[in-house]
Amino acid sequence: MSRLFIFGLGYAASAIADAAGGPVLATTRDGRGGTIRFDDGDAVRAGLAASTHVLSSVPPDGADDPVLVRYCALLEGKWLGYLSSTGVYGDAGGAWVDESAPITGRRAPRNAADAAWLALGARVFRLPGIYGPGRSALDRVAAGKAHRTAIPGQVFSRVHVDDIARGVVAGFTAPPGAYNLADDYPSSQDAVIEFAADLLGLPPPPVVPLDSLSPMARAFYAENRRVANGKAKRVLGWTPLYPDYRLGLRAVSAMTRPKAANAAPQAANVDQR
């Protein structure tokens, strides 16, 4: 049985821990909920010594990867996994990108961390926008925090958190390398928001000008790409349970429907596209 050690027990890593099927140890910054403090070197060393598999979901801190800076020497001989981002591909003008695409993302530390984990022989899982219960367009629409932009031709990929967990667990027996875990149906952010509003029985949120958004949001919309998942399907034997955002958001809605003020009754004829 694998014994998994996770650096950074965040949203996606928690789903992976639940799906791992064996003992799991994990770090957080503050050691909450029985986890290990990331900076408790003795406890981390003991946990790593007792583990067969190591997964990091810790992003770069400034220019460096904190896990590699502090604990790289303790990773030898372990199965290694790293949660990276499809942001490493940069803007593709809406074209499809796979794992052979050049790394031209705007965040140099993320690009460097991705490359460093690959050089160590890790399985690097490149993830697009992550959604799931408690973290989806449904929550943003219900909270009145969603918007549309009406940017022509802008598309992006996404992945349900449960599909990330299944992909990483499938990677336990896969060769090292990069793997895109993304759904099959890249689409615009506006389409996702509009569908979420429809599921909630709410009108779609307003269209806002791009220059009214934060610099981070504008940078997100400046990139336009479709992420291909063929390698993960071939090598990992993985297929997404939620191959498009409509199936994924319906599943999230059925599990935990966000409460919205002044919500209208749910329409019976939900869009079946």
Which DSSP string do the residues of 205-245 spell out, in sequence order? PPB--GGGS-HHHHHHHH---EE--HHIIIII----SS-SH
Report all structural domains of the chain as residue ranges with CATH numbers, in order of start.
4-255 (3.40.50.720)
The pLDDT value given to residue 1 = 62
Rounded average pLDDT per 10-residue block, the chain, 273 residues: 92 97 95 96 97 97 95 97 97 97 95 98 98 97 95 95 98 98 97 98 95 88 95 98 98 73 31 21
Instruction: Determine the pLDDT at residue 269.
Output: 26
213: exposed, middle or buried (C-beta count within 10 Å: 0-12, 13-18, 19+)? middle
| pLDDT score, position 260 | 45
pLDDT at 273: 21
Crossing angle (nearest 10°) for helices 189-200 and 245-255: 30
**For 135-166, how does the pLDDT look when each residue is reduced to its tens digit (9 = 90+)?**
999 999 999 999 999 999 999 999 999 999 99
Q: What local confidence, expressed as pLDDT, does residue 272 receive?
A: 21
Determine contact, residues 35/14, Cβ cutoff 8 Å.
no
pLDDT of residue 256: 67
